[in-house]
Structures are given as structure tokens and as C-alpha cells.
Amino acid sequence: MRAFTVPAPDTDPAMTELEVPRPGPGEILVRNACCGLNFADLLMMRGKYQEMPEHPFVLGMEIAGTVEALGPGTEGPPPGSRVALFGGRGGLADYGLFPADRAVVLPDQIDFATAAALPVAYGTSHVALDHKARLRRGETLVVLGAAGGVGLTAVELGHLMGARVVAIARGEAKLEIARQAGADHLIDARSSDIRDQIKALGGADVVYDAVGGDLFRAAFRAMKPEGRILVIGHASGDVPQIPANHLLVKNVDVLGFYWGGYLRFRPEVITDSLATLFDWAAQGRIRPHISHTLPLERAAEGLELLRSRASTGKVVITMPPAP
């Protein structure tokens, strides 16, 4: 089989020929059909990701395909099932071995490309808002970096979950994208009075922050009592420091959140979330945006689209169907 492999530290990935693996206990063999690319793939190939596999390894985190076989004594979707999963690696190959308990059976209405574009971005926002922050209908959700990859899904899902969504992004064009995704109120991230604008809307019940820096500090100061602020990331490069006495006085919660961490200690949170998201996608309630679809032999080009920020949506790599 073909596999886009990182052979050793500090080396570029390359297409290699490998034997099709056999699943062991607890594993599932998938005939990969599509793989969604992520910025984390770029970090992993440079040895900078927080969870590095041993070399050599095959890149590709988000996978959709068809079950070929189950390992001995393994329970899971039977061969022939159409599934999607977050494998963490192994997706940029014709076949992949993955933990069987991560596989989610796809509704018939969901094509493989859509399934491979959904897990990380939508899964991050859904688990963060629903499981972690327990966002309730009618609450005010403030999304920082609302036109970014995960921020836009937070706007879309927050609207779908019945929240009043305040989108904060830089410039009219990005704010318009957030508005089309369901934002009720728009605030330009370049404004000098973001705190005052949020407070004028009644304050924030939940803040979704993948940015950090000054935006975090402004939103934190505009939170309602018993508000929750989700720390998703710090794309600004400025990791804010939070005075504990402010938490005490304001009666607010700061919630650290790492989606992939649940795969280690509560994988059912991820699989249950993905089942919900695929059901919503089948109903047309969410629509992942795919800007580029490329064949496996052009995987390096797809990664360069991410690195250069030339893509406007998800980049998906496709593998031909099994003969």
C-alpha cells in the first residue's frame, strides 16, 4: 500500500510502499477513503506536536473509510461498514490500523469527504461547548477569533444550540463570514472598547477563546457572575495569566480544554459527540466547508496549502476506492 510517511526526525515526509497491516486485539483495519489535514500535521512532521509517535509514522489524523477487518476478539463495526474516526495518525495511506472504539458508523447521507472534514474542528467546539461549558439555550456566547477554523464552528454550533452568539473577528470580511454562520452580534477585534461592547450586550455567560492575549483579557472582564471561559488555544502567541483573586471576586470558571486528551481517559465523550455531529450533518444542520480536495500523491501540496494559509476551508486528501 501507499503511505505518506515521516521516516525520521527532521526529515520531510515522503510516499513509501508498505505492507498492508493486520489488526491486533482492540484494533480495526480501515480502507481509507479520505483524510482531513490539520495544522497539527505540520507540527507533528517537524517534531513539535505535544503527542509525538515513534518514527517512522504515517501522517493523517482525521479518517473516513470502510472497515476491512477487526482484530481477534475485537468488538466494533463489521467489515463493510462506512466509518469515520480520529486516529491521530495513519490516515494518509491506503489502509490504516486504528483503535476500534474510536470508530463511528456514518449515516448513509454523509460522504467520506464530509466525514473526514468534520471531527477535529467541529468536535473541538461541540465537546467544549456542550460537555465542558454546558452551554444552555438563551445564554450569551462570545467567540474570539470567530472566523478561524475552530472559531467559526463554535459560532455555528452555538447558534444551533440556541445561544445568542457574539462574534469577535478582525475586519468586515471576517465578521460577515461569522454572521453567515449564525452570529447575532459582531465586534471588530481591532476595537479599543471590546469589554464595553460585550457588557453593553449584557455580558458573557460563556467565552470561547482560541486566541488569548488582549482579547482574552477584555472578554474575561466582561463576564457575568458564574460565567465560564473556555481556554482552547492562544493563536496570538500571548498566553494570558489569570489572577486567582479575580476568579474569586467574579465567581467565574476558567476551563482548560484539549479535545484530543479525552481519547486517553474518556474516549466515549469523543465518539458520542461525533455521532451527534454526523447526525446533524446528515440532517443538513451543519455543513463543513472543504476548500481543496487532492489525491494522495499530492498530499505534500495539501500540507503546503495549510502552511501558507492559502486554503479557506478544510483540505481533504482522497484515496481511490478498493479494487
pLDDT for 33-66, tens place per residue? 999 998 888 888 888 777 788 899 999 999 999 9
- The alpha helices in 13-165, defined as continuous H runs, are 39-45, 112-117, 119-126, 149-160
Question: What are the strands of the beta sheet with 204-209, ordered from one edge?
Answer: 185-188, 164-169, 140-144, 204-209, 223-231, 253-256
C-alpha atoms less than 13 angstroms from C-alpha of 83 in its C-beta half-sphere: 29
Q: How does pLDDT run across 290-313, given as a tens digit for each residue?
A: 889 999 999 999 999 888 877 767
Whether 236 has a pLDDT exceeding 90, the answer reads no
C-alpha–C-alpha distance, residues 172 and 285, integer Å = 25
For residue 246, the model assigns a pLDDT of: 82
What's the whole-number mean pLDDT along residues 205-216? 94
Grid cell in block for residue 147:
472566523
Query: Which contacts (CB < 8 Å, 24+ apart) does range 241-248 have?
Result: 246/220
**Residue 183: band (very low, low, confident or very high) from pLDDT cuts 50, 70, 90:** very high
Task: Quote the CATH superfamily of domain 2-118+288-318.
Answer: Medium-chain alcohol dehydrogenases, catalytic domain (3.90.180.10)
User: What's the whole-number mean pLDDT along residues 140-144?
Assistant: 97
What's the half-sphere exposure (Cβ side, CA atoms, 13 Å) at 190?
Answer: 5
Question: pLDDT (tens digit, 9 = 90+) per residue, 93-124?
Answer: 999 999 999 999 999 999 999 999 999 989 99
Closest by CA to 203, choosing from 170, 227, 180, is 227
pLDDT at 34: 97
Q: Where are the domains of the chain?
A: 2-118+288-318, 121-260
pTM, rounded to two decimals: 0.84
The secondary structure of 236-256 as a DSSP string is TS------HHHHHHHT-EEEE
- Residue 59's pLDDT is 96
pLDDT of residue 312: 65
Beta strands in the chain (DSSP E): 2-6, 14-17, 27-36, 57-58, 62-70, 82-86, 95-99, 104-105, 140-144, 164-169, 185-188, 204-209, 223-231, 253-256, 290-295, 314-318
Residue closest to 30 by CA, chosen among 70, 57, 86, 1: 70
Q: How far apart are CA 152 and CA 176, in angstroms?
A: 11
Instruction: Give pLDDT tens digits for 248-293.
Output: 888 999 999 999 889 888 989 998 999 899 999 999 999 888 889 9
pLDDT at 241: 85
Domains 2-118+288-318 and 121-260 share a fold: yes
Are 178 and 201 in contact by the 8 Å Cβ rule? The answer is no
Percentage of the residues of the chain whose pLDDT score is greater than 90: 72
> Using 50, 70 and 90 to split pLDDT, how confident is the model at 68?
very high
323 preceded by cis ω (within 30°)? no
Residue 134 CB neighbours (<10 A): 11
pLDDT exceeds cutoff 90 at 322? no
* 3-state DSSP helix/strand/coil % of the chain, to nearest 5: 35, 25, 40
| pLDDT at position 320 over 80 | no
CATH assignment of 121-260, given 3.90.180.10, 3.30.450.80, 1.10.15.40, 1.10.10.10?
Answer: 3.90.180.10
Beta bridge partners of 228: 206, 253
Q: pLDDT at position 108, please?
A: 92
pLDDT of 130 higher than 60: yes
Mean per-residue pLDDT of the chain: 92
Distance between CA atoms of residues 99 and 30, nearest Å: 10
| Strand duo 27-36 + 14-17: pairing | unpaired
Q: How much is the average pLDDT of 185-209?
A: 96
For 19-28, 61-70, 146-155, which range has the lowest pLDDT when averaged over its residues? 146-155
pLDDT band for position 237 (cuts 50, 70, 90): confident
pLDDT of the residue at 296: 96
CA 92 to each of CA 15, 35, 57, 113, 304: distance values in angstroms, whole numbers, following the listed order: 9, 6, 10, 13, 15
pLDDT for 206: 98
The confidence band for 18, taking pLDDT boundaries of 50, 70 and 90, is very high
- The Cα–Cα gap between 221 and 178 comes to 23
